[in-house]
Chain A
Amino acid sequence: MIEFLTLLQVLDSSLRLATPLLLVCLAGLFSERAGIFDIGLEGKLLAAAFVSAAFAAITGSVWLGLLAGILASIMLSLLHGLASITLRGDQIISGVAINFLAAGLTVVVAQDLFGQGGRTPPLKSGGRFEPINFPGATSSKEMNEAGPLMQFYSELLSGHSLLVYVALLTVPISWFILYKTRYGLRLRAVGENPAAVDTAGISVRGLRYSAVIIGGVLCGIAGAYIATSLQANFTKDMSAGRGFIALAALIFAKWRPWYALSACLLFGFFFAVDTRFQNILLPAWFLSGFLILIALGLLSYVWKKDYLDKAVLGGLAVGISIIAFLVIFSVWDTGTSSQIKIPVVFIQSLPYVLTVVVLAGFVGKAIPPRAGGQPYVKER
């Protein structure tokens, strides 16, 4: 059985790893709710991470770093807005361009400024967001002796950087803005039917620009978090696909703030499990039983689909069943109690597998905002 403290530590690390996802996911939520698809979240995150780390390193002030990161992210958001709102270009292409721009530019500028192979120098204290310890929280050295309630308070609730609490607060704030204010009503409307907003005498452009700017601010905070709190400097490609995983979480969350919180915590949990446990031992019967269940699920899913789906997904199901039987076969001699070691790469791939599963539409129907991805052109 896993110890309570270990569980708390995993959850604690889930929360820390979920924070950037959550901020980026909410950034995407504002943007997409307004009808602007934002595939460039990754790029904005990366750019903000670099700019905030660089400013924090040069000025020694984490607050200046945060501000600079937010500004950099807003600049990229405005670029995306210019391409997709004003010039009515393709939103996907503009987003991809921003990703490339950020991936290349950050390393080049970092090398030019610091000459450390595309990274920024390690941040000293003052250049980082330090953990906030709640009053009365036990220090980690004495954690083992504390009671479960104290452990919960000290390990999970206390001891995070300010930005973690900011990210958590963003969820109810976003919910309130979206569903309880005039601005939220208009924002949701412009993503569903911009013509309705336009004929009501409200500026579609203004609303959409405001939405991408909010997205920029949130991405900026997320970038600053990964470079000045989660890590202590900027390294090449340090966003590590978080922008894309946040997009998947957004679909998983059906474009709703509270669901976004749970989706991001789930993804964060996977990351935490992955860093905490290198190899996991599972009973062989459990593993193969699980695999067979997946295969059966797949088969029942494709039953009513046409023959191409049947061939592809059915083939996948057959493959999974073969693996399941191989697992059983390999431990046949040692009996039912034998355990199988699951390599770390499988656990590492879980968030991505889940992303694919979400995107493929296995988990309920996620209906995106109806005007998403389309530039608004007034009809004649």
Chain B
Amino acid sequence: MTRNPAIELRQISKSFGPVQANKDINISVMPGTIHGIIGENGAGKSTLMSILYGFYKADAGEIFVDGKKISIPDSQAAIAAGIGMVFQHFKLVENFSVLENIVLGAESGALLAPSLSKARTELAELASEYELNVDPDAIIEDIGVGMQQRVEILKALYRQANILILDEPTGVLTPAEADQLFRILKRLREEGKTIILITHKLREIMDITDTVSVMRQGEMTATLKTDDTSPEDLAELMVGRKVLLRVDKTTAKPTKPVLEVQNLSMIDDFGVQRLKNINLTVKAGEILGIAGVAGNGQSELLQVLGGYSAATGVVKLNGSEIDLSTSVSGDGQARRAMGMAHVPEDRQREGLIMDFMAWENAVFGYHREKSNQANKFFMDNNAIRKETEEKMKRFDVRPPNPKLTAKNFSGGNQQKIVLAREIERNPDLLLVGQPTRGVDIGAIEFIHQQIVALRDQGKAILLISVELDEILSLSDRVLVMFDGEIMGERQPANTNEKELGLLMAGVSEKAAQ
């Protein structure tokens, strides 16, 4: 028996100016299956999905749904064709209720009340059918990201979607929440829905998909049955060369404490306590990883240590106490002078000035140093430019042109510019936040090697990341943060994602054992 594929793309091409984002893409997904699309950042996955959801019009190619050729000029047409999309960044109205978000755009009449009551009954049916329980009257900003994602899925189902596309759905979830999502997806598959999962996480592809397509530089390099492949093969197909998936490192030889944090607490501008009595020590020659779901105080910890949020408690660097107010004696400049370097979480807002050139960015925070001054009044720009160019070459920044503005580099290369600036000053302590967020696999490998190399020189490193894989493979010790507190400490060798996941979800030390 030959069934029509639920969705089929033939020879889809799309270019933006000279950049060919998608080239001759062919995909065919059978109904009731989960199909994975994997590729590095900039491989063209998002463009392809935007074409499917009517955000862009393809330059060439055809789309078939259930064997019928359709055109998708806008999102309305995609919805009508039964395509639902769950974006990486949720498209929800934060101060609306769950119900209002679901109804928005799919109202049954000009008045709201009948639409809402109709949606309420249908929501109850969907909830029991797919085990997707949410409180319809909850306000979006009050519920967790896992719940918000459910709302997105419900939105699609309420619009009678048969094909569900999920873009990087697990990026914001705890491992437990991700497992829950996968159970829901499997359930949807049983009910005959077709699911397309876009991700850069190899493990997810292996865990849940039936078939997988690999994209590289706008082209579809392979389409395989998941059972017939391995993570290593997929990684090679993605990058085009063999990739080391685990970080190669020797055991740490920690020596004296470099950073000591005692009873650190912080209350933000809205009166919410973001850090609660944090105690930790980072020794020279080790990487201390801090795991946790985004928004549990990790960012605030970095901001406090980096000197741009005030806090109470005691922080010592190399034995001398740091001023925790945000006055001049406690600012980032003063901390740099004491041997601290900081790779902030958000490189585009905190790490770089996007409209400034690479060489200007590469000297920031160190621009007052003697070595950068030509004389009493002027900076030695030529020397800085030359030095930056060498640095860029050492850190494999492409292209190594110091006069290019920061925004013209890709995410990975921007991150390398920040890393080069901070590491090359030879700090005693490096604070790193989300070092590989939005960075492609090839660059991840390089960045990880640089961090380990710094550790091997006997420097102390505090690593904060929401990627558990990264924490587990880089750190020598792992602390888990939840709701501004340290939930516990683990050795990467003696723990697993499940145990850390429970701690990340706030299940206490004892219950976790």
Contact = CB atoms under 8 A, between A and B. Distances in A.
Contacts of B113: 180
Interface of A: 179-186, 188-189, 192-193, 195-202, 370, 378-380
B366 to A, nearest CB: 27
Interface in B43-66: 46-47, 50, 53, 55
Q: Which of B46, B78, B103, B105 has the most chain A CB atoms inside 10 A of its CB?
A: B105
Contacts of A192: 93-96
B107 A182 contact: yes
Contacts of B413: none
B40 interface: no
What are the 3 closest A-B residue pairs judged by CB atoms, nearest first? Answer: A200-B105, A201-B76, A196-B91
Contact of A186 (B46, B53, B104, B155): B104
Nearest to B90: A196
Contacts of A380: 46-47, 50
A185 B103 contact: yes
Nearest to A199: B91
Contacts of A197: 104-105
Contacts of A201: 74-76, 78-79, 105
Interface residues of B, number: 33
27 contacts: A180-B112, A180-B113, A181-B112, A182-B109, A185-B104, A188-B93, A192-B93, A192-B96, A193-B92, A195-B91, A196-B92, A196-B93, A196-B101, A196-B104, A197-B104, A198-B75, A198-B91, A200-B75, A200-B79, A200-B91, A200-B104, A201-B74, A201-B75, A201-B78, A201-B105, A202-B104, A378-B55
Nearest to B55: A378
Q: Which of B79, B103, B107, B110 has the most chain A CB atoms inside 10 A of its CB?
A: B107
Nearest to B75: A201
B115 interface: yes
A191 B113 CA distance: 21
A179 B112 CA distance: 8
Nearest to A184: B112
Nearest to B102: A200
A319 to B, nearest CB: 27
Contacts of A378: 55
B85 interface: yes
Contacts of A200: 75, 79, 91, 104-106, 155
A83 B304 CA distance: 42
Contacts of A185: 100, 103-104, 107, 112
B107 A193 contact: no
A181 B93 contact: no
B1 interface: no
Q: Which of B53, B89, B104 has the most chain A CB atoms inside 10 A of its CB?
A: B104
Interface in B205-252: none
Contacts, number: 73
Contacts of A184: 112
Nearest to B105: A200
Nearest to A179: B112
B434 to A, nearest CB: 20
A193 B74 CA distance: 18
Contacts of B101: 196
B111 interface: yes
A120 to B, nearest CB: 41
B115 A182 contact: yes
Contact of A189 (B55, B78, B93): B93
Contacts of A180: 111-113
Contacts of B109: 182
A23 to B, nearest CB: 24
A182 B111 contact: yes
A28 B106 CA distance: 27
A174 B494 CA distance: 62
Contacts of B308: none
A186 B105 contact: yes
Interface string B461-491: 0000000000000000000000000000000
Nearest to A202: B105
B87 interface: yes
Q: Which of A183, A186, A200, A380 has the most chain B CB atoms inside 10 A of its CB?
A: A200
Contacts of B55: 378
Contacts of B78: 201
Q: Which of A186, A197, A201, A378 has the most chain B CB atoms inside 10 A of its CB?
A: A201
Given A196-B91, A196-B93, 16 more contacts: A181-B110, A181-B111, A181-B112, A182-B111, A182-B115, A183-B110, A185-B100, A186-B105, A189-B93, A192-B95, A196-B92, A197-B105, A199-B75, A199-B85, A199-B91, A200-B79
A179 B100 CA distance: 11
A185 B95 CA distance: 12
Given A182-B109, A196-B91, A201-B74, A189 B47 contact: no
Interface string B443-473: 0000000000000000000000000000000
A195 B105 CA distance: 12
Nearest to A189: B93
Contacts of A195: 89, 91
Contacts of B53: 199
A196 B89 CA distance: 10
Contacts of A379: 89
A193 B94 contact: yes
B67 to A, nearest CB: 24
Nearest to B100: A185
A241 to B, nearest CB: 31
A180 B95 CA distance: 16
A189 B91 CA distance: 11
A318 B89 CA distance: 49
A230 B101 CA distance: 44
Nearest to B84: A199
Contacts of B92: 193, 196
B414 to A, nearest CB: 17
